[in-house]
């Protein structure tokens, strides 16, 4: 297996530098000329500033303003970070050893950097707070979903643990709070075909061969609400939310289904009442069965008065 080239710049805020490969063909006289054309969203003055400060490098070190263009070469630099609203909730460590880190992620915190969420992500926070620069997630949770995520701390073990999730050999359970409808017969297995198009916020259930399957059970109910156990057998985008909505019992706090609502990114009230509550698998390295359970609970069930307010 070909090993990834080690960046010549150190991590910053737990993030690797961006790498740009220089095309084999091109008539740019300098690297600067290429970057100004290649990165239209970055002001030319900012590129000049980075070059003057030694913030753009190749394998031989910092590049000058007039560094000649080298076809097929590569440069590294740290991208400017967006302004972010701090997510005011802590990550709970459930388990830590030399290979694995299992944490309980709060609502509103993305798993990995993407779009406008960079520093305020579980991965970047954990890399910095626990001094684990090589940490990588074995799977992901949506930003609005709380609960268990398994990270791999030992780079040599990444493939083994990530493969478990790709092959669906990990038993996952979720808890959800949603309306109670006695007409909905449970337990049941919901199957449907789900598609999610790029740049479109909502996933859709469409006609065709099912590619998504969820086992849904009612654990208990009171005051018009139910506490449900969800066992996804597949991992489609928004699968659990769509399947609960298809039964007429959408998960409380869902801003997507059945109706898309615009919620400000700094509004941390009424989170989606969905929690990744357990992970269970046979360890691919040791062969030992392992199970991890959440330390969290869902507010709409444990604090109904606060939720109603």
pLDDT over threshold 50, residue 111: yes
3-state secondary structure 132-161: CCCCEECCCCCCCCEEEEEEECCHHHHHHH
- 107 CB-near residues (< 8 Å, 6+ apart): 89, 144, 145, 146, 268, 271, 272
CB 275 within 8 A of CB 147: yes
* More confidently predicted of 284 and 27: 284
CB 56 within 8 A of CB 75: yes
Say whether 142 is catalytic. yes
Could you read off the pLDDT of 112-129 as tens digits, one per residue? Answer: 998 788 899 999 999 999
What's the whole-model pTM score? 0.87
In the three-class reduction of DSSP (H, G, I as helix; E, B as strand; rest coil), residue 47 is classed as: helix
Reported as a pLDDT band with limits 50, 70 and 90, residue 7 is confident
In the three-class reduction of DSSP (H, G, I as helix; E, B as strand; rest coil), residue 246 is classed as: helix
pLDDT (average), residues 83-107: 96
CA distance linking residue 59 with residue 48, whole number of Å: 19
Quick one: how far is CA 146 from the chain centroid?
11
pLDDT over threshold 60, residue 164: yes
pLDDT (average), residues 142-168: 95
pLDDT (average), residues 149-177: 95
- 117 CB-near residues (< 8 Å, 6+ apart): 84, 110, 143
Helix (H) or strand (E) holding 80: none
pLDDT (average), residues 199-212: 94
Please report the domains of the chain, with CATH numbers, ordered by start residue: 18-77 (3.10.290), 92-308 (3.30.2350.10)
Q: What is the DSSP string of 204-223?
A: EEESSS--EEEEEEEEEEET
Could you read off the pLDDT of 34-46 as tens digits, one per residue? Answer: 999 999 989 999 9
Q: How far is CA 209 from CA 61, 116, 192, in A?
A: 54, 35, 7
Q: How far is CA 302 from CA 39, 108, 237, 297, in A?
A: 49, 19, 27, 7
pLDDT over threshold 50, residue 1: no
Reported as a pLDDT band with limits 50, 70 and 90, residue 12 is confident
DSSP state of 30: B
pLDDT (average), residues 273-293: 97
Helix (H) or strand (E) holding 272: none
pLDDT of residue 114: 84
Could you read off the pLDDT of 177-200 as tens digits, one per residue? Answer: 999 999 999 999 999 999 999 888
> Which tokens sit at 309?
């307010």
pLDDT of residue 2: 44
Catalytic residue among 16, 27, 90, 142: 142
pLDDT (average), residues 243-248: 97
Reported as a pLDDT band with limits 50, 70 and 90, residue 82 is confident
CB 256 within 8 A of CB 241: yes
pLDDT over threshold 60, residue 4: no
pLDDT of residue 15: 86
CA distance linking residue 262 with residue 224, whole number of Å: 26
Helix (H) or strand (E) holding 173: strand 171-179
CA distance linking residue 206 with residue 203, whole number of Å: 10
């Amino acid at each position: 297996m070909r090993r990834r080239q080690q960046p010549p710049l150190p991590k910053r805020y737990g993030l690797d530098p961006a790498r740009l490969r220089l095309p084999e063909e091109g008539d740019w006289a300098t690297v600067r000329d290429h970057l100004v054309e290649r990165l239209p969203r970055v002001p030319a003055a900012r590129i000049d500033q980075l070059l003057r400060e030694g913030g753009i490098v190749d394998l031989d070190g910092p590049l000058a303003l007039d560094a000649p263009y080298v076809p097929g070469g590569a440069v590294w630099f740290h991208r400017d970070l967006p302004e972010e609203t701090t997510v005011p909730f802590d990550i709970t460590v459930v388990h830590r050893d030399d290979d694995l880190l299992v944490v309980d992620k709060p609502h509103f915190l993305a798993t990995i950097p993407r779009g406008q969420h960079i520093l305020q992500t579980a991965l970047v926070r954990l890399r910095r707070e626990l001094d684990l620069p090589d940490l990588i997630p074995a799977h992901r949770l949506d930003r609005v979903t709380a609960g268990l995520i398994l990270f791999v701390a030992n780079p040599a073990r990444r493939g083994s643990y990530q493969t478990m999730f790709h092959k669906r050999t990990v038993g996952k359970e979720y808890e959800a709070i949603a309306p109670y409808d006695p007409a909905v017969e449970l337990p049941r297995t919901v199957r449907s075909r789900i598609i999610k198009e790029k740049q479109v916020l909502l996933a859709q259930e469409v006609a065709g061969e099912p590619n998504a399957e969820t086992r849904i059970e009612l654990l208990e109910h009171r005051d018009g609400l139910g506490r449900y156990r969800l066992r996804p057998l597949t991992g489609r985008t928004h699968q659990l939310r769509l399947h609960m909505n298809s039964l007429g019992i959408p998960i409380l706090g869902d801003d997507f289904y059945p109706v898309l609502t615009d919620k400000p990114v700094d509004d941390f009230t009424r989170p989606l009442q969905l929690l990744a509550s357990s992970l269970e698998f046979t360890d691919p390295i040791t062969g030992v069965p392992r199970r991890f359970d959440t330390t969290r609970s869902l507010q709409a069930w444990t604090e109904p008065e606060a939720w109603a307010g």
